[in-house]
Structure 1
Amino acid sequence: MSDRSRIAVDAMGGDGGLAVMLAGVACACRQYDDVNYLLVGDEAAIREGLANHPNLAQHSEIVHAPDVIGGDDKPSQAIRRAKTTSMGIAIDCVKQGRATAAVSAGNTGALMAMAKLSLRTMRGIDRPALAALLPTLGDNDCVMLDLGANTECDARNLVQFAVMGAAYARTTLELDAPRVALLNIGSEDQKGTGEIRDAAQMLRAAPHLPMKFTGFVEGDRLSRGEHDVIVCDGFSGNIALKTAEGTARFVADLLKRAFRSSVRSKVGFLISRPATELLRDHLDPNNHNGAVFLGLNGLVVKSHGSANERGVATAIGNAAKMVRADLTRRIVEDLRHFEAKAAA
């Protein structure tokens, strides 16, 4: 293999198993010509699967893992089996420097626990956060964090999430000064918990950061495209994310039912098909796949378990973009700059 960046892929994770993961990596291989892959999992099964993807075989190396983390495995159980599982070995490849990032579609809780234990949080970060891209009505997606890694957060945690989220937005969305907002129950300064109000005060006092703090945002404004980074605790963020995903599926199913209700509706569907196809493409989670654990000494990307091959390729593409932009270094520099100004 060449000196190109390497991404370790948990080839056994995800609802679709090895076939979907290999197809997704092969798709990414055609799109990103500067990346090689470490395919972690059952060597015999991977080798057999690579027969269907000759382009991938030329740019990949197999790392054997005899065991797999199941969807029902508890994080504590997963940690004890980290050295023998495809997920744990993929993360260890990042720790050892064999890979520049790891991608898995497996058990989220297990992935978070093993990544945190193996890679540790970077200096200046109390807790890592799970960040993902959400579709909006604006020109770009928006970054939202935390999405479930931390159910309770204090003001310092939220400020750190804002710094990390802004660095991620600058990298992924290619923005010079991302607009950052705190998710709250109202836009007024007196609304919300003490932690949220204190975090807002700290962010307003830090105009030197490469971001623009825009205050509070309510849940009904998340998809308007008015903010580039939405910051919240993991409890609120996970509920908001699942609600948004459920609403998108509801709208799509409602449209299908409406268009099938009568002959006139079917004719209307044929006329409006370009618009409905655009809507479906915009809401398709496979086009926004790939959440990242920010704040660790290494990049770990979580692909949705139900992602198809296009979704897996999207997650890998996000990982490759973060590697090229040296996201971890950017976060370290922003945190150092923030702490230096805060201490002055």
Structure 2
Amino acid sequence: MNGPMDQTQAVRDMRPAPLPSRVSLVEVGPRDGLQAEAEWIPTATKIDLVNGLIDAGLRHLEVTSFVSPRAVPQLRDAAEVLAGIDRSMGAVLTALVPNAKGAERAASAGIDAMVVFLSASESHNAKNVNRSVRESLDGVRDIVRIAADADIPVFGAIATAFGCPFEGNVPVGGVVDIARAYADFGITSISLGDTTGMATPPLVQERVRALRERVPEADIALHFHNTRGVGLVCAYAGLQEGVTRFESSVGGLGGCPFAPGATGNICTEDLVYMLDECGIESGVDLQRLIAVSRRAEAAIGRRLAGQVMKAGPRLELHDMNAVATACG
């Protein structure tokens, strides 16, 4: 039988680790958010969106993709967008690059860092980039070489890291193997992407811990979609695991065009609000960010998913005279 001291130690072992005091946010709305928009968003509007996000305090933004214009017409102005952004605030501007040709274009345009990506499931990788996982990894090697020649760092993203819409559960071993391959290429900044919102807190815990054990040099970021309404819950689970980098999208824009049922990313202003209320510093001014989200909503021309942009912060007060009084 366990004694009182054993029970006390067991309770202590169950306590969650302290949450981080500060996190870094990666804003992916200009790329991941806009890529699926069917109506053309003017280049000037995209530039204004990025500049507004930088002004709100975001210092790491995925601004576009150097993908084939035939595949993603919305991002055919990648070089023009990059050229128009105000870089005086020192924000790191990254772009998704699918292949060697895209890497060469990105380097010529003056990108700060390249993002390579592939899926943890063969079926989604085939739909997303029309390649096997092994072929994609071979392509990553070429991109890393081009980036190294231009002295540009490379970040690695793993899509469907928490589940695949075609295969269901994705084995954690497959995710770790890709992360290990990235690290062997010299890519240690690795993002786990929840492409279709299949992540749950237990899966977050499992995958973060597995990467920390088998790829200890990895600097892990988490990228959640809110498809099933638990995106922020999963982000909180990541905080409990000590993760300090999260990717999110202004207004909740986004959704993979090659995954059925995919909806937007977790919303940047909702995430910032949660962090603020938890006493976690992000460096982002929530009120300024809300203003940018409302501008994004007007530019897109429809209601966006963000909640805080509609309701405001918890302690935002209202004029009593502006609200009707109940009768009777």
Whichever structure has more helix as a proportion of its residues is: 1
Work out whether the TM-score is over 0.5: no
> Given the two structures, how large is their TM-score scaled by the length of structure 1?
0.27
